[in-house]
Structure 1
Amino acid sequence: MSDNADPGSNGRVYDPDADHAFPDERLNRVLEVVESDEEIQAYLDAQNVNPVARKRYNDHGSQHISIVRNRSLCLYDLLKAGNVDFNGAADQGLDEADEAVIIALAATLHDIGHVVHRTDHPYYSIPLAADLLDRLLAEFEWYDVGERVRMKGEVLHAIVAHDTDETPLTLEAGIVRVSDALDMEHGRSRRPYEEGGRGINTVSSQAIRQVSLQPGDGVPVLVEIEMTDAAGVYQVDTLLKAKLNGSGLEDDIRIVAVTTRDPEERLVERVEL
């Protein structure tokens, strides 16, 4: 569960040994299996070639997945602590402990379709993830056949719904969708930027210094984004806003972005969604 960008910061890294606002035993077991699964790890490496090496786009490999999964689980923990009721596992008659498992598996597998193509990758992710889930879910003794089918369906829904063209029907899916956009810090665009990529996504990501999650005042979650340049507004006001809208979490998450350069050089001082 590593996140190389300052793992001590608030709301950045899920700690399996910490106390959580949800039952975590199933999640922690699943995470151990995922981290040691050679096929999954191979996908996480291979899926970065098309977006980064060939398209000069931001990172979509193992580091991106680690960050999105960490953000997803930290966001979930804060929302549970804020008494937000989740509907994905509950609608299927699954246990509360399965909510975090759905989130973690979807966050892990949401981008594997990049091995096929950057364009329409969420839809290519579905059959690839389905095969992996058939094998993976069978390893856990607490799931019978019916529960494996329901878990698979919920994970696949969260995967496809991370795309802004689709509407999340569960809050579990909404978390993965929002967390995908929360991986916006400058390290994500370092390689394509150094190789000459100058698209707005790459340049704007260079302006984001840090993202942190913490309990909010009046809402369960406050997302704080530290920018060094006004170019970072694109990440916040365009990409993150698009992911938050329609996620089902609009009323539960407050997002504040501030610039940290010399005040005399600031073009944008504060952005709030």
Structure 2
Amino acid sequence: MKNMFNIYYINYEKATEISMLIDNQVIESITRTKGKETSAEGEGDVSTDPLAKIPLIGKHIPTFSFDGSLSHSRSKQVEDTIKVVSTKSTMLRPLYEKATEVKKLSDSKVGNLIKIKGVNLSVVNLSDVLAIKTLLNGLIKKIPVNDDNLDLTSIFPVLFKDSTYVIEGKFKQKIDDIEEFIIKIPMNSEAEFESNYSVSDLEIGDVTVIGIYRGKFDKKLILEKSNIMMALNNAPTTESSDDGSDIEDGSSDQTSNNAGKVHYIDVISIIQELNL
């Protein structure tokens, strides 16, 4: 029985590219042949001697006898053609089947196609997500600058085009043995997730993550590079002082409590295993 799953998120372009590397074929139809064959064999003899003893008609029946064997066979074949509908699930399935299920991330090698089951996810940069989503959805359109209204509608999509959801995952092997990893999902002004799911749905219950293992990195460095709002706040200006005394509280040490190293996974898809 094939494994069934429900897709929360998929990088379809990445999944298609890797799926084509595994098997550069897209099945469009499946033809199934059903065959039916019947056969019969028998032996016997036929004679008119019993009929000759019947009064009145016996003298009109010619006398003959036959002894031999008979056989009969017939075959029938029916072809059923099934059209295969190409969906995101069909493209993802070869990756799911080829990906190695890891029991311990530390044993993985860089470049391994892996799947991690029973993962609990949480969004790390929630404040960034709320702020950027507000700007991208056009809540703030014009800002007065020198008695003129500056239209920012066309600026925000360019400014925040590389914004991402930074998501931390916890993978439990034993009660006291938990490994942490980080994945990033591109943030768009439109829906990034499948079937009207939202990023908050990823934080409810355990899921399975499919991706490429990239290695272990400093957690603080990953968060700093992913924090667009923090980078803008800390951008040097002509009015800023060299000692950084004008930086608002919390912006300079936002990641100070996130010391240590974590595994980084180039995520391809996040799915929910189904039991059918």
Normalised by the length of structure 1, the TM-score is 0.23
Higher RCO, 1 vs 2 (CA within 8 Å, ≥6 residues apart): 2
Q: Which has the larger radius of gyration?
A: 2
Normalised by the length of structure 2, the TM-score is 0.23
More strand by share: 2
